């Protein structure tokens, strides 16, 4: 085939694919524009999850009617002029591409300055009279209507809506001085009145039902030229089982940064039980010259040239705040009669948040040294519990029972007696009046499943295991890759759609390939993904049918099997069969 320049419509649709993946990505761009316009109020209407329409209305600077047609053009922007401007960026937009891209794959109508103009899948209308005189109203309709191949990737309206809602909340968090309203199919879903940063954070945290019952938030900040950190955190007594409420903003824009989220969660880990995560909104202000958002069209990725300085600051800020909290608590315990004020500010959440109290906790001068936690008298009890679980060695001994070298375990307990292995597949146990056959593979699988779920014993891979993903999974991993962390699996993004697995549960040694194979395809419901992966790890690491088991291994499996809640494999199948003495008597005619 000869090399030819693409038809402009084809070219613009290809380019649009980068910016507009689903309704939520169009909403993000429309909100960015509304915020950049200097608006004090932004309203959003969403119909059918944004698939039918998204309308964003602002009271900002507006677009002169003579320039309306320019807004639909590619590389047309009022926000930067030269490359240098990128390093002084104050606005959210800078590529001059968003509206052009959206209008290539939908019908986009912009109203401002008493006029309106539409662009239907790349074809623009004439300038028509419009009714909007203050600010700008932009309406996107029928996304991907002309591109069935793209439309089929859209999900149910409710799922698309929840993505839009998330984008809305994240934008509102970055711009607390702006009032935001969100209407879903014409009914008001969220209203964020203009507020302080802390109030806005509380408003957003309160949208989750787990937080709704919580009483406290903690503010903290730290400044070291040219970086200013400010964070609002739920009190450690209020936490979640996923990381969706650990949000990081750089210069008011939410970013996907595994490292920053990691810096937050690992600093917090001393104050929280294992496997749970805080409510934590971190706002980083950095010199625009040290931040580069021009990496991916979605602008959710950013390069920080002073990244390691920032990770260090985040860790110190959080640890100092936690340390102060604990000191205050310990002093309270020792001197209950004294009225000891906490060093940081804790304020009760009420329906109408109070204005911020002055003199709140700030580390604006010199940052304190990172405290050592080794000698803390307030070490949380969960840590002891976790150590105990590990200390009993249950995960190790049963995950590799064949290596159990200590004294031979008792083959007899009060209630049961191990008889032996048959067909190299079943363990036979006399259990009261019954003879029990245990499927050795399924039982071991279930035992491992339980152990990995509790406290995975983690092993770092000497050579990271690299794998490629689809765009869907890439996005899934960026947003929810942490779910694997809870299983002892760490995945790190190398570049777009390329990931590396750097640690796995020790129980899953030599199964890197099976794990990576699963991860590179899995997306969707977090719990289901986690459960399927448990099952895969357990299945690959368990002894197999046909393996000859030594006595110690077999007894260890029997012992642990009796400790299980239910003798069902992770897939729900029962793995035991029991015959009673009575049945046997009957079969051989003893009862006659």
Give phi and psi for 107, each to the nearest 5.
-105, 120
97: partner contacted, choices Mg ion, ligand ATP, none (Cβ within 5-8 A by kind): ligand ATP
Number of residues forming the site for Mg ion (CB under 5 A):
4
Region 118-137 residues binding ligand ATP, contact defined as CB under 6 A: 136
- Identify which of 442, 446, 410 has the alpha carbon closest to the alpha carbon of residue 426: 442
Residue 93 in tokens: 């937009």
79: partner contacted, choices ligand ATP, Mg ion, none (Cβ within 5-8 A by kind): ligand ATP
Shorter beta-carbon distance to ligand ATP: residue 27 or 491: 27
Q: With binding defined as CB under 5 A, does residue 25 bind Mg ion?
A: no
Pairing of strands 280-285, 498-505: unpaired
The 3-state DSSP class for residue 329 equals: helix
DSSP code string of 282-314: EEEE--GGGEE-TTSTT----EETTHHHHHHHH
Query: How many angstroms separate the CA atoms of 171 and 179, rounded?
Result: 11
Residue 443 in tokens: 């039982």
Q: Which stretch binds Mg ion (CB under 5 A): 30-38, 61-69, 369-377, 415-423?
A: 30-38
Query: How many angstroms separate the CA atoms of 150 and 337, rounded?
Result: 67
Find the shortest distance in angstroms from Cβ 41 to ligand ATP.
12
* Per-residue binder mask for ligand ATP (CB under 6 A), 3-42, x = binder: --------------------------x--xxx--x-----
Among 33, 221, 440, 451, binds Mg ion (CB under 5 A): 33
- Identify which of 245, 179, 156, 181 has the alpha carbon closest to the alpha carbon of residue 209: 245
Q: With binding defined as CB under 5 A, does residue 93 bind Mg ion?
A: yes
Find the shortest distance in angstroms from Cβ 184 to Mg ion.
23
Q: With binding defined as CB under 5 A, does residue 135 bind Mg ion?
A: no
Number of H helices, E strands in the chain: 19, 26
CA dihedral sign of residues 466, 467, 471, 475? negative
Q: Which stretch binds ligand ATP (CB under 6 A): 74-82, 193-201, 470-478, 513-521?
A: 74-82
Q: With binding defined as CB under 6 A, does residue 95 bind ligand ATP?
A: yes
Query: How many angstroms separate the CA atoms of 62 and 266, rounded?
Result: 45
DSSP code string of 510-532: T-HHHHHHHHTT--S-HHHHHHH
61: partner contacted, choices ligand ATP, Mg ion, none (Cβ within 5-8 A by kind): ligand ATP
Number of residues forming the site for ligand ATP (CB under 6 A):
25
Among 24, 27, 31, 71, binds ligand ATP (CB under 6 A): 71
94: partner contacted, choices Mg ion, ligand ATP, none (Cβ within 5-8 A by kind): ligand ATP
Query: How many angstroms separate the CA atoms of 555 and 417, rounded?
Result: 9
Shorter beta-carbon distance to Mg ion: residue 98 or 538: 98
Q: Which stretch binds ligand ATP (CB under 6 A): 91-99, 152-160, 357-365, 385-393?
A: 91-99
Query: How many angstroms separate the CA atoms of 97 and 88, rounded?
Result: 19
Query: How many angstroms separate the CA atoms of 551 and 102, rounded?
Result: 67
Q: With binding defined as CB under 5 A, does residue 98 bind Mg ion?
A: yes
Find the shortest distance in angstroms from Cβ 19 to ligand ATP.
7
In the chain, the N- to C-terminal Cα span, in Å, equals 89
Find the shortest distance in angstroms from Cβ 480 to Mg ion.
27
Q: With binding defined as CB under 5 A, does residue 56 bind Mg ion?
A: no
Interface residues with ligand ATP (CB under 6 A)? Answer: 29, 32-34, 37, 58, 60-63, 71, 76-79, 93-100, 136, 138
């Amino acid at each position: 085939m000869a090399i030819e320049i693409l038809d402009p419509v084809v070219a613009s649709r290809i380019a649009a694919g980068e910016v507009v993946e689903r309704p939520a990505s169009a909403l993000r761009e429309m909100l960015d524009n509304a915020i950049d316009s200097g608006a004090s109020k932004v309203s959003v209407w969403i119909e059918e999850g944004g698939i039918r329409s998204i309308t964003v209305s602002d009271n900002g600077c507006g677009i002169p009617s003579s320039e309306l047609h320019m807004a639909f053009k590619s590389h047309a922007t009022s926000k930067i002029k030269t490359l240098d401007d990128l390093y002084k960026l104050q606005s959210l937009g800078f590529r001059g591409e968003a509206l052009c891209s959206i209008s290539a794959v939908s019908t986009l109508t912009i109203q401002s300055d008493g006029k309106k103009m539409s662009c239907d899948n790349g074809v623009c209308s004439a300038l028509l009279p419009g009714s909007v005189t203050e600010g700008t109203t932009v309406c996107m309709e029928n996304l991907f209507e002309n591109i069935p191949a793209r439309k089929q990737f859209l999900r149910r309206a409710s799922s698309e809506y929840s993505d839009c809602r998330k984008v809305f909340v994240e934008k509102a968090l970055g711009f607390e001085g702006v009032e935001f309203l969100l209407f879903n199919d014409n009914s008001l879903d969220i209203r964020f009145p203009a507020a302080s940063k802390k109030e806005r954070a509380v408003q957003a945290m309160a949208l989750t039902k787990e937080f709704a019952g919580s009483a406290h938030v903690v503010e903290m900040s730290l400044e070291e030229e040219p970086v200013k950190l400010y964070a609002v955190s739920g009190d450690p007594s209020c936490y979640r089982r996923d990381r969706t409420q650990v949000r990081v903003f750089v210069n008011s824009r939410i970013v996907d940064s595994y490292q920053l989220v990691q810096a937050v969660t690992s600093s917090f880990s001393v104050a929280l039980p294992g496997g749970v995560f805080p409510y934590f909104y971190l706002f980083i202000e950095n010199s625009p010259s040290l931040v580069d958002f021009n990496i991916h069209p979605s602008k959710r990725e950013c390069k920080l040239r002073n990244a390691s300085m920032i990770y260090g600051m985040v860790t110190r800020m959080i640890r100092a705040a936690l340390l102060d909290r604990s000191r205050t608590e310990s002093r309270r315990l020792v001197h209950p009669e004294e009225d000891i004020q906490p060093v940081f500010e804790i304020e009760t959440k009420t329906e109408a948040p109070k204005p911020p109290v002055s003199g709140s906790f700030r580390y604006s001068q010199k940052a304190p040294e990172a405290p050592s936690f080794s000698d803390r008298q307030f070490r949380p009890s969960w840590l002891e519990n976790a150590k105990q679980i590990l200390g009993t060695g249950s995960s190790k001994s049963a995950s590799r029972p064949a290596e159990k070298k200590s004294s031979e375990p008792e083959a007899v307990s009060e209630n049961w007696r191990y008889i032996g292995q048959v067909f190299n597949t079943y363990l036979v146990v006399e259990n009261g009046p019954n003879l029990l056959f245990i499927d050795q593979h399924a039982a071991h699988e279930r035992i491992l499943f339980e152990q990995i779920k509790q406290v995975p014993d983690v092993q770092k891979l000497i050579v990271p295991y690299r794998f490629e993903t689809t765009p869907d999974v890439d996005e899934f991993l960026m947003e929810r890759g942490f779910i694997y962390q809870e299983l002892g699996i760490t995945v790190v993004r190398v570049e777009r759609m390329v990931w590396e697995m750097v640690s796995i549960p020790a129980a899953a040694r030599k199964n890197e390939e099976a794990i990576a194979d699963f991860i590179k395809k899995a997306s969707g419901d977090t719990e289901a993904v986690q459960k399927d992966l448990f099952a895969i790890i357990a299945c690959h690491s368990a002894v197999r049918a046909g393996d000859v088991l030594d006595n110690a291994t077999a007894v260890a499996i029997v012992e642990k099997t009796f400790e299980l809640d239910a003798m069902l494999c992770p897939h729900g199948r029962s793995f035991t069969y029991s015959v009673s003495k009575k049945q046997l008597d009957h079969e051989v005619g003893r009862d006659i």
